[in-house]
Amino acid sequence: MSHHLDSPAARQDPRLDITDLFVFRGEQGTVLVTNHSHSIAGEDIPRGLHPEGRYEFKIDGDGDAVEDVTYRFLFEAQDATANQAYQVRRLNGREAGDALGAGTLIAEGSTGLSTDLVGGGRAWVGKAGDPFWIDPDVLQAVGHAFQDGTAIDLSGWDSTKASNVFAGHSVYSIVLELPDEELEPVAGAGGRLAVWAVASLATDAGGWRPINRAGLPMLHPLFAQFDEALGDQLNENGPSEDSQLYGKTVMDKVAGVVRANGSAEDPEGYARSVASRILPNVLPYSIGTQASYGFAGWNGRTLTDDVSSVMFSLASNTPVAMGITRQSVTSQPSPGFPYVPSAV
């Protein structure tokens, strides 16, 4: 579970849960994808995108972990055919972080259909297959280790019997493809961007309550899988505050597991290096490059990267394998727009 139902607030309405964030090179530019409303939560609850919510891609180019541009999706209620009309708005500069900013309307569309953006680019929103995979026994073993400060215990696990808990499940994807010339003025040196996503819910007082935030994959399963309070807290602030708010927690949890594993001579020093790498919680990507989230480095994230093995191994300083591969996904991603797997 990269972010699947990762906090009490997200579980209250899975339409506002961000299960995953992906950033990669597409046919026409940089592609941003978030998945929501996972079917594992049950089919007897509302599906799709919340008509009183908003879904945002946030992009920073100057390295301060504060958004320089925001792309906001707003949805209407489902019609008789379960489709939803939506708007896409772009917010620049200081307005990008303004919860009440209106931005500029750049597209109007409906779920299931491709929509062109004003000035170039395109969007697609609809039901899709979940491309993520993980074995539940490995997931729980890792979560317990980081909660309890123990070694990761997989002694009773048989890798030949590993299974993908998300096989055959569906999500609702938001796909946004942006031309390079739109993002280049925002980017830092080398076309570098930092990306994160936020799902929020309208409040009775006229404001917005953040429900879920996603940047790097697997942080919630590592550090908050069995800590409900922390699971909610990680969604309540912007990434520029992450190091101050959660740095010590991350370091303590990493040091505990590394010490129990005996995998570093200086567990505290190793924990500091991990915390400095994963906080602030933003996904880095360089415009125009091939995305890859692997052991050698992080540059965006494709729909098929094995992020669980990467993050579990990094945090524990011990190799952790899933026993399964991307072939365990029921429906594979498409090479063409909108790229996400077909729903099964």
Helix H, strand E, coil C: the string for the chain is CCCCCCCHHHHHCHHHCCCEEEEEECCCCEEEEEEECCHHHCCCCCCCCCCCEEEEEEEECCCCCCCCEEEEEEECCCCCCCCCEEEEEEEEHHHHHCCCCCCEEEEEEECCCCEECCCCCEEEEEEEECCCCCCHHHHHHHHHHHHHCCCCCCCCCCHHHCCCCCCCCEEEEEEEEECHHHHCCCCCHHHEEEEEEEEEEECCCCCEEEEEEECCCCHHHHHCCCCHHHHHHCCCCCHHHHHHHHHHHHHHHHHHHHHHHCCCCCHHHHHHHHHHHHCCCCEEEECCCCCEECCCCEECECCCCCHHHHHHHHHHCCCCCCCCCHHHCCCCCCCCCCCCCECC
Q: What is the pLDDT of residue 2?
A: 58
Q: What is the pLDDT of residue 1?
A: 43
Q: What is the pLDDT of residue 39?
A: 92
Q: What is the pLDDT of residue 11?
A: 82
For every one of its 344 residues, what pLDDT tens digit does the chain have, with 9 covering 90 and above? 456 666 677 788 899 999 999 999 999 999 999 999 999 887 778 999 999 999 999 999 999 999 999 999 999 999 999 999 999 999 999 999 999 999 999 999 999 999 999 999 999 999 999 999 999 999 999 999 999 999 999 999 999 999 999 999 999 999 999 999 999 999 999 999 999 999 999 998 889 999 999 999 999 999 999 998 999 999 999 999 999 999 999 999 999 999 999 999 999 999 999 999 999 999 999 999 999 999 999 999 999 999 999 999 999 999 999 999 999 999 999 999 999 999 98
Q: What is the pLDDT of residue 3?
A: 60
